[in-house]
Structures are given as C-alpha cells and as structure tokens.
Amino acid sequence: MTDDAPELRASDADREQVAEILRDALAEGRLDMAEFEERLEATYQARTYGELTPITRDLPGPGGAPSVVSFTKAPAETGSWASRIVGGEGSSTGAFAVMGGFQRKGRWTVPRKFTCFAFWGGGELDLREANFADREVVINCVAIMGGMQVTVPPGVEVVVRGIGIMGGFDHSEEGVPGEPGAPRVVITGFAFWGGVGVERKLTRADRERRRLERKAARHELHRRERGGD
C-alpha cells in the first residue's frame, strides 16, 4: 500500500476493500459490534490512503499474516457491470407456478430470454445480485389470475412491453437511463386478471452501506461545525 504516499485520495473501491476486511473480522469475533461500527464509519469517512491504513493494521489477513490492503487500481473492479455480464446460457430458462409460487434470487445468471408462467399463483424474480448472460435480457411474463414481481438493481435500464387485460404491467421504472455498461432488462408478456410489478431496489448490504455513509457524513458535518475538534 501506501505508507509512502498517505496523502493520495482514496476511492470508493478502496474503502470497500477495507470494509470487507472489517466484515470478516466481525464474523470471526475479532471485533465486537461497537468496534465494527466505529471502524466502518471511519472507513466511509476516510478521504486518503493515510486515513484508511490504520483501520485494519491490527487485523490479520489470510493465513494469519498482517492484513495488507492493495490500493492498486485494477482494470475492472469486482462487482462492476463488466464483471456481471458473463455470457453462457444462464442458470435456467424459465419458472412455472400453478396454484403455487416460484422464486429466483441471490447469485444466479439471467439467460438471454427467461420465460415465467403463473396460474392462480405468483412468482418473484430478484436481479439485484444476479449475473447476466448478455447486455440485453428479455423476461417474458405470463400471469393468469396471478402475479409476478421483478426487482432490479439501480443502474439497470428497464423497458416494459407487456399487455394486460383486466390486469397490467408496471411501467413506473421505465425512462430511467442505465449506467454505462449496465444491462438492459426488457419485460414482455401477458397478464389476465393478474399483474406484473417492477421495482428498483438496493440490496440489504447496499442499504446498510449507504446508511453508514450518511451517518459518517453527518458526523463529519458536526465535527466541522464544532471547528474541527
């Protein structure tokens, strides 16, 4: 790292590396919750490498060696959109529910075309932690006297082309520009006495990270108001 250049500005990816070490330390019992929250706040408040370095200095890395965080910029960060468009055929091509339900969530790969059907039932498709077989994927939803919910992460472009008869498709997330490199999710299909909902939502981990970032920002604002004491 960086003891030789402590004044260099840290990036969001640098802070996430440190946060991941802290989460592991909490899970292993090396930090209690109070210590974890204090260090995590300091992590998201840090602006330079010099401020990040001491946060994990007393925590071991893999194999018990001292924890060393690399701040060398990689070509593609873990978790970037480029790393989530993986090609291939997808984890599955469809899901069906007859007087029951289905669910796809967590780490799975959305194929180029995914077809789901619900009759007197319902289904949930959660794409927040998913990978994608291609830059554009099509989700074909058929809901008859049933319903489906599609959850996408922020940054993804959504296009809705479904047809509803005594039912409908949710268009509220259309028109939001996608982030550079993010996939495009096209939702098509047919709803009869049923509906297909679409929502854009953060994962629990991302919500917690943003909460701590806001808390750290408020702490920094109060510190400056008190004159930096």
Taking only the tens place, the pLDDT of each residue in 111-154 is: 999 999 999 988 999 999 899 999 999 999 999 998 999 999 98
Reading phi first (left if > 0) and then psi (alpha if -120 to 50, else beta), residue 210 is in alpha
Across all residues in the chain, what is the average pLDDT?
81
- The residue among 120, 66, 67, 117 whose CA lies nearest residue 94 is 117
Q: Which residue has the higher pLDDT, 203 or 139?
A: 139
Q: What is the mean pLDDT of residues 104-115?
A: 91
How many angstroms separate the CA atoms of 218 and 45, rounded? 10
- Residue 78 banded pLDDT, cuts 50, 70, 90: very low
C-alpha angle with apex 73: 5 to 205, nearest 5 degrees? 105
Tracing tokens 């930096």 back to the chain, one arrives at 228
In the predicted model, is pLDDT for residue 108 greater than 80?
yes
Q: Which residue has the higher pLDDT, 22 or 6?
A: 22
- The residue among 56, 71, 53 whose CA lies nearest residue 22 is 56
Confidence (pTM): 0.58
- Residue 69 banded pLDDT, cuts 50, 70, 90: low
